[in-house]
A and B are shown apart, each in its own frame.
Chain A
């Protein structure tokens, strides 16, 4: 039994309503733990004063430089003593999830037992970078909790100027749109950089994210320094039985208004069956006895919309792989940046092919470590030096798939033009 609870009139308001209440959970924990009684006391104070009361510090585990988020209370009385002393330390352990965030209940129960013993009993599935967050631990117990979690086969995630914890979508495990083995690529890449993940020494953070298709369920383009996004090169596949089933349910109006009209390049057409073209790049499928769909795949940008709407009737092709985009990040300091294409397509079917992705990631991190300014993200670095210089350093060939349009200003020195043309020609001939 824990000590007596404080009155928490503000937090009590958050026990009302239908959505599961984190406050009810905090109170359940506070029945057994003084730490949580005091945590509720401090949180209630924040709700009253509308101010936060945590500061960082340095707490870690033996052998690592990061992965623990230290929190010490700043809510002190006139003598400088913590007002809520049992929650004066409330550190978080970031722990990397398995790809796709799959668990068995044995593992989850073991997490619970460890965290009930050493920590607060509060666990978040998951933080915004994908970590399992074991929230609320004294400095003394951080090492004990980590040792037990680590013995289970789980490892700390990233924090500070380091390679950060990564996320991958449900992917091949349960999604028909998956274009590569996300879990394999996720583990191959991340587990190459464990030193850079556990011992922060980069200019700033570096995030990888892995999405199996252009729906980008991991928000990789906007939220990662390197986004690996599944796609395919050949024709969209079709299934006549499922196409007819879809059409029987949804009809011509929906086919035209929801699919044809929403195709970004207008390559998706509905035609009378006898007018549908044949050809190497054409996908066609009948939806009724009179009409069918025709897609010229050379004009398709693999946006996923028609496949999302008519799942099963249409599906990604068989020549699958991934596009790699670099430089995504949020606002600070120069404004939000999306990742931009640096590898339009690479195969990821074999271990050797995945190794090429790992090698590219390694060279990118090395370049970032040597060239970025302090607290500068990869996208900001590329904006400062220009994409062409980055590609040059990475030994990547330029490709018009990397741009929205060629430059719109003449402010460029082009005295190397003839040499570049010659190089491109020589490369083409050699290929």
Chain B
């Protein structure tokens, strides 16, 4: 008999302390910063009450990085940034440097290796995104590919600060919306109820849990071909896909009928108005891998109109507040259809209970 294998017990160390990873100037001036400005797009210049200054150079990455890419970024950090980097929530990388004269050579080095410098201030920054076909178990589309295709189109706006205010984008490969709230979001919108493989349901799915998961109570237990399964009231089903994660035999993804929708006007910050959720403004774009040209063109069009029409410091939501929804649809050329009128709980708060109408 083999001796029992001694398993290593995990060290439950939790969230590590970040102090040892901080750039020396960041550690020295922790909690003592006075102000910042941006000498050029992609560069933040922070000044401490102590008089110390630090320049942060921000560059875009592909987020899913191979070790060779990461080592290249490390080489650059070792050469210019005292071996320290940080990442932003949108997967940009930042190099902190202690002397202004290092900024230009650092930018040149990053660009030489194909990392665009930008994403600061009033730019279109990197797209927050999810896993998609690369790794998700329930994706309606890819994520990294959509983002790559779109960022190729928007890279000039990433490198400039010419937008009225910052533009945050996100993509999500199903309606769970892991990509989060953004000024413009691309989200898969299923258009047909799930197709059920009745042979598998009994063995794979916990049926009461699936029934409970449906937001509109459209799923009920049923015997199909002598086997316990589930059935859907297709007149109630609004194709959200919530049943698919707990019950993969309820296939919601469909190469033709799972479409892409565009949402606008989400804002995380409390600046000016309170935070806002984004609103659906278009749907029906084909899931057209590998470069998704239709939805990409639609997003670029919204960005173009916003750039021309919004006033300084108006985020997408602020701009639409000023010009109103009728003008938004008119200016962007997007058709306003009945599917954009909310009918979910609380929907009456989204209707116009006034005579405030722009003509």
Contact = CB atoms under 8 A, between A and B. Distances in A.
A305 B272 contact: yes
Interface string A13-54: 110111111110110110000000000000100110111111
A13 B291 contact: yes
Contacts of A23: 148
Nearest to B154: A19
Contact of B312 (A123, A173, A258, A264): A258
Nearest to A70: B137
Interface residues of A, number: 129
Nearest to B59: A20
A61 B10 contact: yes
Interface in A123-168: 123-128, 130, 135, 143, 146-147, 150-151, 153-156, 166-167
A187 B13 CA distance: 10
Interface string B45-89: 011000000101000111111111111011001100001111111
B89 A219 contact: yes
A298 B248 CA distance: 55
A101 B86 contact: yes
Nearest to A98: B18
Interface stretch (B209-217, B225-233, B330-338): B209-217
Interface stretch (A287-295, A334-342, A351-359, A363-371): A334-342
Interface stretch (A174-182, A276-284, A393-401, A410-418): A174-182
A102 B114 CA distance: 22
A64 B14 CA distance: 13
Contacts of A54: 135-137
A174 B56 contact: yes
A186 interface: yes
Interface stretch (B172-180, B299-307, B351-359): B172-180
Contact of B290 (A11, A166, A305): A11
Contact of A19 (B87, B155, B268): B155
B186 to A, nearest CB: 15
Contact of B291 (A14, A56, A334): A14
B255 to A, nearest CB: 4
Contacts of A92: 135
Contacts of A116: 67
A430 interface: no
Contacts of B22: 102, 173
Nearest to A339: B275
A190 B13 CA distance: 11
Top-5 shortest CB links A-B: A312-B35, A17-B152, A25-B66, A98-B18, A46-B133
12 contacts: A25-B69, A50-B287, A107-B21, A109-B70, A109-B74, A125-B87, A126-B91, A190-B15, A254-B312, A264-B273, A334-B345, A338-B275
Interface of B: 7-23, 26-27, 30-31, 33-37, 46-47, 54, 56, 60-71, 73-74, 77-78, 83-89, 91, 93, 96, 114-116, 128-142, 144-145, 148-149, 151-152, 155, 175-181, 209, 212-213, 215, 240, 242, 248, 253, 255, 258, 266, 268-273, 275, 277, 287, 289-291, 311-313, 344-346
Given A111-B70, A135-B134, A176-B33, 9 more contacts: A19-B152, A20-B116, A47-B290, A96-B16, A125-B61, A147-B8, A239-B35, A313-B35, A335-B344
